[in-house]
Amino acid sequence: MIMYKGLLLVLLLTASPLFAECMRDLEGRSICGHGPCAKDRRGDVYCARDRYGTALQDDRGNVVCGLGKCAKDIRGNIYCSTESGGDAIRNDRGEIDCFGACQLAAAALCEQVLAGRK
């Protein structure tokens, strides 16, 4: 009995749909992703592919994503941690420091999945 409870707990914790996020776009469609979602300047929804990632608008109103947390440098570039859920902060010189390493946020790290219906 204890083994079954342990197996059930492992399955619940590793099932990624439990951590999905969804938002409605301007047309009323539910768009989902494994991680947080954001709307671009036109109201289209994009979500981070990683459940511990980040989705946010850049200076042009486009949504970009990262595997971990993201931060904007003094020039407006958005850098994110290369580690899932890793942190990124702006230091006193306006540069970004990341857990692991830093990479530029990119639209390629976003997803846009239309939610299913009953």
pLDDT(10) > 50: no
pLDDT at 14: 38
What does 28-53 look like in DSSP terms, one character per residue? S-EEEESS-EEE-TTS-EEEESSTT-
In the chain, domain spans: 20-114
Residue 11, both tokens: 């399955």
Under 8 Å between Cβ of 71 and 90:
yes
Prediction pTM value = 0.79
Q: What is the pLDDT of residue 65?
A: 98
